[in-house]
Structure 1
Amino acid sequence: MSGSSVFTQSCREELLSLLAKDAYRFGDFTLSSGRKSQHYVNCKPVSLSGRGLCLLSLSILSEVELDSVAVAGLTLGADPLVSGVAMAAAQNNRSLNALIVRKEAKGHGTADWLEGPLPEKGSKITVLEDVVTTGGSSLKAVKQLREEGYKVERVVTIVDREEGGNDVMNQSGLELVSLFLLKDVAKKAKEIAP
């Protein structure tokens, strides 16, 4: 782990249970990548709950590089994550700001892609993601940040679906750090099913 030691094993188990209960579904689904799957993960019911965001923020913070000055992610899935992690960092006396990467440039005013307190060019930023399948959303955020002159080396995701995203990240010079693998969440869901 790279950062805060506040996140304990019991917190990790509680977070896994929340994801299994509130974020995971088994059935027939079409994913945003267009792929078909029997497993669906929507982390927003967890990341938009008070306890869920608290657990996620501490867990993710522990994986953010110590020399990162900000966390960033593509709107909408990463919005609560970057805000929660920045707040958890402040509560742990660590300076870390949050940036939101738009899906397209703002159509008015400054036409910016990024929202938030922009760090100096060349600063390191860690990208956050809720679920990685093919890695497309993460790479879009990374591309925008790199084009703005920032250094991005790591993507932290809540769940890696293990469908090629890690390989795509590696090919782009990125390390993918996953809090959980899809198989972990699916297994837990089976254990707690009524």
Structure 2
Amino acid sequence: MVALPTTKEACKDKLLNMLAGGAYRSGDFTLASGRKSAHYVNCKPVSLSGVGLSLISTLLLDQVQDDALSVAGLTLGADPLVSGVVMKAAQMGRSLDGLIVRKEAKGHGTGAWLEGPLPPKGSLVTILEDVVTTGGSSLKAVNQIREAGFCVKRVVTIIDRQEGGDVAMKNEGLDLISLFLLKEIELRANSFMQ
């Protein structure tokens, strides 16, 4: 049996180690936006591990507004996050549902953009994200949730790459909350090499 940390600070420190060791790489990379970067972050090796998802879910749930009825995120990066957070909420006795935002409308059946139990119109939904760079993916999810008639005020991400995502969120009237900044991940990864 895997022993998980019992305090939030210990959870955050363990997750930082996991992200620095399993999600972060330095080198010469081309990002999804086409921009070049010396840093690459892929949270899936951590978010798709049992321990990693448990830590992430605990820390993300702490940042979901108390009056939010759902969490949502753009497929694929947010899929484990949404699932993990709603499960963690249920384990803690909190009613919270999850929505997955498709990258394009379903090509058959209802043509839906959203998967999951829809809350009443006007309900507050918190957006979850693995990595925010410019904020484009997060804003796509926000826009689909808003167009469906729900309210979004907050985006919570595991890592903010600090490349303008916070400004993009603020321009849309959103708060961006990050568990970690890219520089924290980089510093921890560099400490492993010393």
Smaller-chain TM-score range? over 0.9
Q: State TM-score, norm by structure 1.
A: 0.96
1:176 aligns with 2:181: no
| Structure 2 unpaired stretches of 5+ | 1-5
Superposition pairs of residues 1-194 of structure 1, within 5 angstroms: 8-193=8-193
Structure 1 residue 7: deviation in Å? 5.2
Aligned residues: 189
Task: Give, as a single letter, the amino acid of the residue that structure 2 aligns with 1:29.
Answer: F
Kindly provide the CA deviation profile for residues 156-189 of structure 1, in whole angstroms up to 9, marking residues without a partner as x. 0000000000000000010000000000000000
Task: Point out 4+ residue stretches in structure 1 off by more than 3 angstroms.
Answer: none
Task: Give, as a single letter, the amino acid of the residue that structure 2 aligns with 1:149.
Answer: G
State the distance in 1 between where 2:136 and 2:165 align. 8
Structure 1 residue 147: deviation in Å? 0.4
Q: SS of the residue aligned with 1:145?
A: helix
Task: Give, as a single letter, the amino acid of the residue that structure 1 aligns with 2:115.
Answer: E
Could you tell me whether the CA contact under 8 Å between 1:71 and 1:97 is conserved in 2? yes
| Structure 1 unpaired stretches of 5+ | 1-5
Could you tell me whether the CA contact under 8 Å between 1:101 and 1:115 is conserved in 2? yes
Q: SS of the residue aligned with 1:53?
A: helix
Q: State TM-score, norm by structure 2.
A: 0.96
- What residue number does 2:3 align with? none
- What residue number does 1:3 align with? none
Relative distance call for 1:106 and 1:7 in structure 2 (3 A) is farther
Q: SS of the residue aligned with 2:27?
A: strand
Percent identity for Structure 1 against Structure 2: 65
